[in-house]
Amino acid sequence: MRVPFLGPAGMYTLYYYPSNANLAPHMLLEEMGVPYRLALVDREHNAHKTPEYLAMNPAGLIPVLIDGEMALPEAAAICLHLVDKHPDKGLAPPVGTPERSAFYRWLIYLTNTLQAELIVYFYPERLADDEAMAAAVKQRAEQRVGGMLDILEAQMRKSGGPWLLGQRFSAVDPYLFMLCRWTRGMQNPARNRPLLKAFVERMMARPAIQAAHDQEGLKPPYF
């Protein structure tokens, strides 16, 4: 796979693989309605470990956003970059306000806490010496994820919804939706909590969210 560093003029390029962490910035790009194109990174053939891709993201992780001559990895960083580049889209509160601080708080909680634990759940063998230990790691991770989802359910209740920050739809909502989706195979997934269930149903009804799912070829169950 040849990976360009220079994207098309006036257009973002999002390197993606279906159902990876690219889904959050992908949905955000659709919500913003700004020009972009998708570039598939074929994980089945380790395209994310090629020298060309590693030159963009030495961690070998997906996604990467190309903005002109800049290659930006990390899904949360991409989301922050996009809301800063397009403040007119209103997908983050104004800088310096208490609402912006809450926006930072929950985005960082999602990426540093919940997403990090979900990675442990999906890849327990990274922290284990054998299958029995991996199973124990996976079970503990699922328990911890459940507690994190309970915290998010409580935040939905506190904010009064319909979105994580309250009445304002923001870039944290696609991120939360993506991570709720990742729990769909768990014994106690996000959809078991009434407010999170209503949230993911509300998200899935949005045309931008549907478009991103269609473009990535994602099929039900969505969450």
All domains of the chain in start order, with CATH: 12-89 (3.40.30.10), 98-206 (1.20.1050.10)
223 contacts: CB under 8 Å, gap ≥ 6:
177, 180, 181, 183, 184, 189, 190, 191, 200, 204
Give the 3-state secondary structure of residue 149: helix
d(CA 155, CA 142): 20
Is there a contact between 49 and 60 (Cβ–Cβ < 8 Å)? yes
pTM of the model: 0.95
| Amino acid 1: pLDDT | 40
- What is the 8-class DSSP label of residue 114? I
Number of Cβ atoms within 10 Å of the Cβ of 65? 27
Element (H, E) at 40: strand 36-40
d(CA 218, CA 23): 10
* Per-residue model confidence as pLDDT tens for the chain (223 residues): 444 455 666 799 999 999 999 999 999 999 999 999 999 999 999 999 999 999 999 999 999 999 999 999 999 999 999 999 999 999 999 999 999 999 999 999 999 999 999 999 999 999 999 999 999 999 999 999 999 999 999 999 999 989 999 999 999 999 999 999 999 999 999 999 999 999 999 999 999 999 999 999 999 888 8
